[in-house]
Amino acid sequence: MACPLLRQCSKWNSNCSSLFETLWYSNGRSVSFSTSSLGRTSWSSGPGNEGQPSALRRRTGPNTFNFTRSLTRHKLRLLDPSLKSCFCINSAHTDVKVQDPFTIAQKDLTNLYDDIRKELCVTKELKALCHYYFDGKGKAIRPMIVVLMARALNSHSNRSGELLPGQRAVAMITEMIHTASLVHDDVIDGSNKRRGKGTINELWGEKKAILAGDFILSVASITMARIGNNTVVKVFSQVIEDLVRGEFMQLGSKENENERFKHYLEKTFKKTASLIANSCKAVCVLVSSDPKVHEIAYQYGKNVGIAFQLVDDVLDFTSGANHLGKPSAADLKLGLATGPVLFACQQFPELHSMIMRRFSSKGDVDQAWQYVFQSDGVEQTKNLAQHYCQEAIRQISMLRPSAERDALIRLTEMVLTRDK
C-alpha cells in the first residue's frame, strides 16, 4: 500500500500543499496545519472538535511509522485530515469465513421493494411513476449497509441480532430518499438514461418527475414519523438538508484552486455519504444510547459513502455505458470536475480554465479526458478511495465481532473493486 502512494506523493511539488491549506470536515469544521516537519503535522482544530469521543480522536506520535509511511500518511492527510492512519488493520475477525454481504442481508431485503411499493400505493399514474425505479433491479447498496449495520449493532449491544421493526423501516426510508434524489437529479441534469432504461423525466416529463420525487420524499417522511423516535427524524432531516446543499454546491465552481478539492469532498459528502452515514446512525440510536457507538456507525457510513462516490467518479472515466447504465464521461459533459480531473490538474494546469468554464467550449471534454489519462489522476483517486475504506474498517472494527460486522468489512473491498 505504501509504495504506490509514495510514488504518487513524489510527483507532488510544493505548490500541491497549498491546494489543501484549508482542510475539510464533513460537519463543516476546518483544520489548519503547519508542515514544519515532514511526516509530522501540527494541528489546530476548529470549534466543535473538543466534544469528540476520546476513542475516536487522532492518534499521533513521531515514532509510530517509519519514514516511508510517515510521508505517505502526511500527503494523504492533506486531502482530508479526518482520515486516521490505518495502514495496518489489526481487527479481531471471527474465525468463520466471511460471507458475501448480499447473502447475509438477503433475508432482510427480500420483500423490501414490495413493502416500499405498498407505501406508495396511490392513483394509477402517480403509482406508475413512483414504482418505476422500485422494480427490485437496483443494487440496494444503501439498505444492505443499513440492515448489516443494524444487526452488527444489535449484537454489539448484547441484544438479539434480529432486526428491529424500526431498523427495517430505516432501510426502506434510506432507499426512498435515495431514489427521490435520483429522480430530481435526472431532472436537473437533463438525463435520459438511468439504470439502463429511460428516466422518469424522459418518459413522463420534468413536471411530473419533480412531483413524483416530492411524493416519494413525503411518504418517506410519513414512514419516518411512524418509527416514533425524534432523533431519527432529526437525523434524516439533516440528510435532506445536505442533499439540497450538495446540489447547490454542484451547480457552482471554485475559482481558487486551494478551495476546489475541499469543495469537491464536501459536495461528495453531502450528496452521497450523508445519507449512508446518517442512516447508519439512525439504526444505532434505536438500539444504543452510547454516543461513541453512534459515532462509530456514522463514521463507517461516512467513509464508505465517500469511497463509493470516488470509485463512481473513477468509473465515469474507465467504464463504458454498458456497465454503468449511463454514458461514460457523463460528469465532464455536465461540466463537473471530479477527483480524477482535480488530481490531473496538478500535472496539467491547462485544465484550470476548462474547469472554470465547466468544459463548455468545443473540444473541452475530449481534451480533459486526454489529460486525465495522461496523468495519474485515476490512480490517485483510487488510492484516496482506498484510504477512506481503511478508515471505515478501523471504525467498524471497534464493534464486537459478528458475521454482520465482518460483512461490513468485506463490503469495503467490494466498493473498491466494483466495475459498475
Give me the chain's average pLDDT, please. Answer: 79
Residue 62 pLDDT class (50, 70, 90 cuts): very low
pLDDT in tens, 71-119: 334 344 445 545 544 433 334 444 446 678 989 998 899 899 999 999 9
- pLDDT at residue 23, rounded to an integer: 32
Residue 327 pLDDT class (50, 70, 90 cuts): low
pLDDT in tens, 242-292: 999 999 999 877 677 778 999 999 999 999 999 999 999 999 999 999 999
pLDDT over threshold 60, residue 320: yes
What is the 3-class SS of the chain, one letter each residue? CHHHHHHHHHCCCHHHHHHCCCEECCCCCEEEEEEEECCEEEEEECCCHHHCCHHHCCCCCCCCCCHHHHHHHHHHHHHCCCCCCCCCCCCCCCCCCCCCHHHHHHHHHCCHHHHHHHHCCCCHHHHHHHHCCCCCCCCCHHHHHHHHHHHHHHHHCCCCCCCCHHHHHHHHHHHHHHHHHHHHHHHHHCCCEECCEECHHHHHCHHHHHHHHHHHHHHHHHHHHHHCCHHHHHHHHHHHHHHHHHHHHHHCCCCCHHHHHHHHHHHHHHHHHHHHHHHHHHHHHCCCCCHHHHHHHHHHHHHHHHHHHHHHHHHHHHCCHHHHCCCCCHHHHCCCCCHHHHHHCCCCCCHHHHHHCCCCCCCHHHHHHHHHHHCCHHHHHHHHHHHHHHHHHHHHCCCCCCHHHHHHHHHHHHHHHCCC
Residue 420 pLDDT class (50, 70, 90 cuts): confident
Q: Find the mean pLDDT for residues 292-304.
A: 98
- pLDDT at residue 325, rounded to an integer: 56
pLDDT in tens, 221-232: 999 999 999 999
- Higher-confidence position of 203 and 15: 203
Residue 122 pLDDT class (50, 70, 90 cuts): confident
Residue 389 pLDDT class (50, 70, 90 cuts): very high
- pLDDT at residue 310, rounded to an integer: 98
Q: Which CATH number fits domain 101-417: 3.30.530.80, 3.40.605.10, 1.10.600.10, 3.90.79.10?
A: 1.10.600.10
Residue 165 pLDDT class (50, 70, 90 cuts): very high
pLDDT in tens, 172-188: 999 999 999 999 999 99
The least confident of 210-214, 250-254, 307-311 is 250-254
pLDDT in tens, 348-383: 999 999 999 999 999 999 999 999 999 999 999 999
